[in-house]
Amino acid sequence: MSIQPKIINYGPVNVAGYLHKTSMSNNTIPAFWGEISADGRHKKLHSGEWVAHHADYGICFMVDDDNMDYVIGLEVKAGAEVSPEFHKAVIPQCDYAVFSAGNTHDADFSQNIQKTWGEAFAWLETSEYKMCHCGVSFELYVCECTDDAECDNCKEGKLPCDIYIAIEKK
């Protein structure tokens, strides 16, 4: 069964968060998520006055064919000042293929995300699209948490995630 993404035009989006340098050949992204959750940085990220929405972005900015800058961040409110401790980046306006990894429970979350990425890359190989020259892709963890209350999905341990890959015609 072949998955079919939704094709949308998205961006630009100003984000701020934590920068992590990694590579495709030695992917340390899951461990990075674990680190910032364990040491309190993720909670600190969400406490900023500059935060527009509490939906997490996990953004890959490809440096070359293997190396990438990975940012775990949140959207910045228009005109807001962001503390210099956070890395600032822009998700460029582009056409994106969007693949839903659905609502996944914590136990199988990482495995389901990796499976969806595999399906997305398989789709790219046979579609009329290729990754855009900008080299940006990201995961968007959509939740409806507010500053005062955790949303139902998060309370139930469900983590809704969509994968966005910047694309252009082959």
Does the pLDDT at position 67 exceed 60? yes
Residue 131: partners with Cβ closer than 8 Å, 6 or more residues away: 124, 137, 165, 166, 167, 168
93 to 6, 12, 116, 165: CA distances (angstroms): 16, 4, 23, 12
pLDDT digits (tens, 9 = 90+) for 97-149: 999 987 766 667 778 888 899 999 999 999 999 999 888 999 998 776 666 67
* CATH number attached to the domain at 6-169: 3.20.80.10
pTM of the model as a whole? 0.89
CA separation for the pair 136, 148 (Å, rounded)? 32
User: What are the structural domain ranges in the chain?
Assistant: 6-169
